[in-house]
Each structure stands twice: as C-alpha cells, then as structure tokens.
Copies of this chain bind each other. A is one copy, B any other.
Amino acid sequence: MKKSEYISFAFLRSALTMQNPYHSTEQVLDWIREQNRKILVNVRQVPFAQMLPTWQFDAEGNLRHTSGKFFSIEGIRVQTNYGNVAEWEQPIINQPEIGYLGIITKEMDGVLYFLLQAKVEPGNVNNVQLSPTLQATKSNYSQVHKGNKPLYLEYFQNAKPEQILLDQLQSEQGARFLRKRNRNIIIRVEEEIPVYDNFIWVTLGQIKALASMDNIVNMDTRTVISGIPLHALEGIELPEKKAWGYDLLHDAHPCHTTTEILSWMTSLKCKYELNITSIPLNQVGHWRTTDVAIEHEAGRFFKVIAAQVEINNREVKTWCQPLVAPAQQGLTAFVIKKINGTYHFLVQGKVESGNFDTLEMAPTVQCITDSYVSIRNAQPFVDYVLNAKPEQIRVDTLQSEEGGRFYQEQNRNLIIEADDSFPVDNLPENYIWVSFQQLMLFLQFNNYLNIQSRSLISLIRMI
C-alpha cells in the first residue's frame, strides 16, 4: 500500500493541529459541559417485567426485543484449549447486524474537520460524550423503533468511492458480543451541510487532545479514528511541537518481518481451538436470571440489568432497555519498547469467546472481564504495568465502553514505555513485538486488531 494512496495533506494537517478557528479545544470542552448542563439523564434499574412487552424472555430464557431486531442476550457454551479453563458457559450479546460508525469530514482552509456529536447514552458515566457523526445499527436506520431516520445517514448511504477516506469492518468486544462487527467509515463532503444543534467541527489533533482526558471521546469515535493511517507521517516535518507518538513512526529495524508476524498469527490460529455452541440462556451453568438481573452466581464478570431511561432535554424521552454492567473497572495496557532504535508494541494474541476468527491482536494486558486484582499473578505483565514509574507512563486515562450497551463501564487505558528490566526475548508464545507501522498495516484489514488495542492506538498523539 503506498502512503500517497491513503492519506491526504488535509488529513495530516488535521492530525497535526489543535488550531481550530471555529472552536478552541477549551471551547469544545465548555460546549460539552453546556450540553451536559442542559440535559437531565435518569437511569434507574428496574425489574425485567417493566420492559414488557418491548423486551421479554423467550421460552429458552433468552432476552429479546419483540421485533426480533436490535440485540438479544443469549447463552453460549465455550470450549477451547486456550488459557486455563477448557470449558465454560456464559451469556453473550447477539447482534447479528453490521452498524455504521461514521464520521463526516470537510476540508476548510486546507485542514480536515471532523463532525462529532455530543451524544447522550444511558450507560455513560457522564451523560454526554463525543460520538461519531453517525452511530446507527441496521435496526436503527431501518426504523424498527419507528423513530426518525438518524441524522446524516444519507451522506453515508450515498457516498461515492472518491469521498471515502476509510471504510473498515472492525470488531467489538469479543468477550461480550458474539462475532459483532461495525462498519468504521470516514467520508469527506465538499458541499455545505447543516450542523445540527449538538454537532461540532473539530480537528483530529483536538480529538486526540480531548481523548487524553477521562471519558470525553466515546468508544465509537476512538475505534473509527484508530484506523487513520497516521504512520504515513513518517519523515514529515511537523508544524507544531512533537508529542511522544511521533517517535513511534521511525521503523528502520522492526524485530520481525510482516511475514513472521502473519506466521505467528497463523500458528496461533492453528493451535487454539474455539468451539462456540448456542445454548438456552436458562441453561447457562453458574449464571442465574432473577427478577432484576442476569448474573454470575459469585457476582463475577458482568450482569445484565433492565434500565428505565429518562432523558430530559427540550422534551422528555423515556424508554426501557437492557444494559450490561461490569463487575469492576478493567485495565488495558500496551507495553512499548525501543528495540534496535525502533519502537515496538508488545502484542498479545488473545482468544475471546465472541471473536470472529478465534483470536485477534490484543494489548499486552487486557483484564476487563474479571478483576485484575485477583488475577494479577495469572496474567503476564499486569504487575509490571501497574508498577510503572511516572516517567514510563505515556498514556493513563479512563475510557468508556459504548454507553448504549454498557452501564457505567470505564476501563483504565495505559501505554507504558518499558525500562531496561523488561525482557525483549523469551516471551510467552502468544506475545510478539510489532512496530507501529506494522500494527497500522494490520489495522487496515478486518479482524486483526481487537477493539481494546484500537482504543489504545487512538490515544496516540503526534503533537
């Protein structure tokens, strides 16, 4: 893939500037605060019975929307030779639709601006976060809920090939969703377009600056921008002060060729088996459904609750929906290390129950489905990243999972630069050093990098 192919000058300038004559970054923050002030969100856990008749349990105990659309909570049996547990059963979100996560961009004065939305989601810890221009499941935009057509949908549906800057199928959380993927897409418009009340034009540099704060940029925005090929900045003179991310670009001596990394993935996919069998939710062992929750008998992992959502803005909207609430805050971390003058990410090949293709590239540490305090001895490198010295920390923020599905879930996102004590060789076999340029190559193809690794990549700043 040639660099010139897929990144425009305006794209680069957007990544490399926080100078926005329309809204400074401080103004964007004020505007989000203002959106938050104007809105009252009330999410109340209610008995499942209160979601009737819209959401109900079928004869097998699976929780479904009456229309058969949106998503359902079902049971699966997992059999695998990966990890310490050979077989388990669990609830999982089944949403066999590919949704849009789309951002509209527009070049103004040689800089590309991204149209983001201050969007309320019932699960958000702080009401409003910066979301893509369009965030819609097929059920949404096929108008199953008889609401209005999502704003800006037609721009994506009618986009011509030359308007498309990025268009990738990317995975969602493999431990929570059954083979779910979304269409991550960025398009460019040339014409004037309406900017509705809770939408705003920002640069990519600003998005990344905002993402260095807790819970401002939502997961959907993060996964879309993670695919922007910023590795094409290699060798380009920067107009503003360089950030640490700029040092990642230099790629003279990667530890492994791309062929070796592909071979590593192939061998792991051949070694690890993952057999998923659908089972009725009411037969999932060690889980129970009460009047108010689908939960693990020991309170571990997550629970599914029924939420009554009330949003007071100019009008009052009320609805009920299931939400998945994690049992604890999670941790994801990339360890990076300069080896032979080139920065590398320590990538983990991780099997998760809902993965589309057995395993994907995950961060060095990913503990979001169970308490990392209890398993810190069981998972490699957890202690190392938790004990990193301040000067090793490149990223340390709390980032939210998608608030339309997950209730107040935030995970700690860390990027840690390894010190000399960190091993270069003799890693466990499902770990490998991958350069930034190589990671970005894999990211262009579907189902190579998992959503947690993409979230971390989205946090890398060049300025």
Known: A165-B259, A167-B263, A445-B445. 10 other contacts (CB 8 A): A1-B258, A2-B258, A166-B263, A167-B259, A167-B267, A168-B262, A169-B270, A258-B444, A262-B445, A356-B357
Which secondary structure dominates where chain A touches chain B?
mixed
* In the complex, A5 has a CB within 8 A of chain B: yes
* In the complex, A145 has a CB within 8 A of chain B: no
- Contact in complex: A161, B264 (CB < 8 Å): yes
CA–CA, A446 and B261, complex, Å? 13
Which of B6, B260, B262, B270 interacts with A444 by CB under 8 Å? B262
* In the complex, A164 has a CB within 8 A of chain B: yes
* In the complex, A51 has a CB within 8 A of chain B: no
Mark contacts of A204-224 with chain B using CB atoms, 8 A cut-off: 1 yes-contact digit, 0 otherwise: 000000000000000000000
Task: List 10 A-B pairs, minimum CB-CB distance, nearest first.
Answer: A167-B263, A5-B257, A6-B259, A1-B258, A167-B266, A445-B445, A164-B263, A98-B270, A161-B260, A169-B266
CA–CA, A401 and B281, complex, Å? 43
Q: Which residues of A contact B (CB under 8 A)?
A: 1-2, 5-6, 98, 161-162, 164-169, 183, 185, 256-260, 262-264, 266-267, 269-270, 356-357, 441, 444-448
Which of B6, B169, B263, B267 interacts with A269 by CB under 8 Å? B169
A162 surroundings in chain B (CB, below 8 A):
260
A260 surroundings in chain B (CB, below 8 A):
161-162, 164
CA–CA, A267 and B165, complex, Å? 14
Candidate in A6, A167, A260, A441 with the most chain B CB atoms within 10 angstroms:
A167
Which of B5, B259, B266 interacts with A259 by CB under 8 Å? B5
Known A-B contacts A1-B441, A441-B1; the reply to A6 vs B266 at CB < 8 A is no
- Closest chain B residue to A162, Cβ basis: B260
A257 surroundings in chain B (CB, below 8 A):
5-6
Identical subunits present: 2
- Closest chain B residue to A182, Cβ basis: B270
CB distance from A151 to the nearest CB of B (A): 20
- Contact in complex: B444, A263 (CB < 8 Å): no
- Closest chain B residue to A229, Cβ basis: B259
- Contact in complex: B169, A263 (CB < 8 Å): no
Which of B98, B161, B264, B448 interacts with A263 by CB under 8 Å? B161
- Contact in complex: B167, A269 (CB < 8 Å): no
A5 surroundings in chain B (CB, below 8 A):
257-259
CA–CA, A6 and B445, complex, Å? 19
- Contact in complex: B266, A168 (CB < 8 Å): yes
A266 surroundings in chain B (CB, below 8 A):
167-169, 183, 185, 446
What are 21 A-B residue pairs whose CB atoms fall within 8 Å in the complex? A5-B257, A5-B259, A6-B258, A98-B269, A98-B270, A161-B260, A161-B263, A161-B264, A164-B259, A164-B260, A165-B259, A166-B259, A166-B263, A167-B262, A167-B266, A167-B267, A168-B266, A169-B266, A183-B270, A356-B357, A445-B445
CB distance from A26 to the nearest CB of B (A): 34
